[in-house]
Amino acid sequence: MAFEFTDTNFQDVALEGDKLSVVDFWAEWCGPCRLVTPIIEDLAKEYDGKANIGKLNVDHNQEVSMKYGVRSIPTILFIKNGEVVDKHVGATTKAALTEKIEAHI
């Protein structure tokens, strides 16, 4: 299952963690977000132990969403060594996300 990022754990896991973090900013009411969810779940299983892959609900975690200027969802941030190294906005394919993960792992 994909990791659940929150305002509380984001600093420790995504910014200070020693692995690439892939954070899907989403909301339950967002149609394109529902298309991306199974892809994020699959990638979380495939990269278990190699990357932190998960979701952050923008309705429940507004602090992190505002800090990173997330205005459209889904927005997927790729964070390594505390810095955003890549970003994708909108629905996408598993192949496209895999390519970005492999480039930064």
Q: Tell me: the pLDDT tens digits for 52-75?
A: 999 999 999 999 999 999 999 999
Active site residue 71: no
The set of residues, in sequence order, having a beta carbon less than 8 Å from that of 2 and lying 6+ positions away, is 24, 40, 41, 43, 44, 53, 54, 55
Quick one: angle between helices 31-46 and 94-104, nearest 10?
50
Domain segments of the chain as ranges:
3-104
Q: Is there a contact between 74 and 26 (Cβ–Cβ < 8 Å)?
A: yes
Q: Is there a contact between 39 and 93 (Cβ–Cβ < 8 Å)?
A: yes
Q: Is there a contact between 94 and 39 (Cβ–Cβ < 8 Å)?
A: yes
- Reported as a pLDDT band with limits 50, 70 and 90, residue 1 is confident
Out of 33, 43, 44, 97, pick the active-site residue.
Answer: 33
Out of 30, 36, 43, 101, pick the active-site residue.
Answer: 30
| CA distance linking residue 65 with residue 42, whole number of Å | 24
Match 């496209």 to its residue by tokens. Answer: 96
What does pLDDT average to over the chain?
Answer: 96
The domain made up of 3-104 has a fold known as Glutaredoxin (3.40.30)
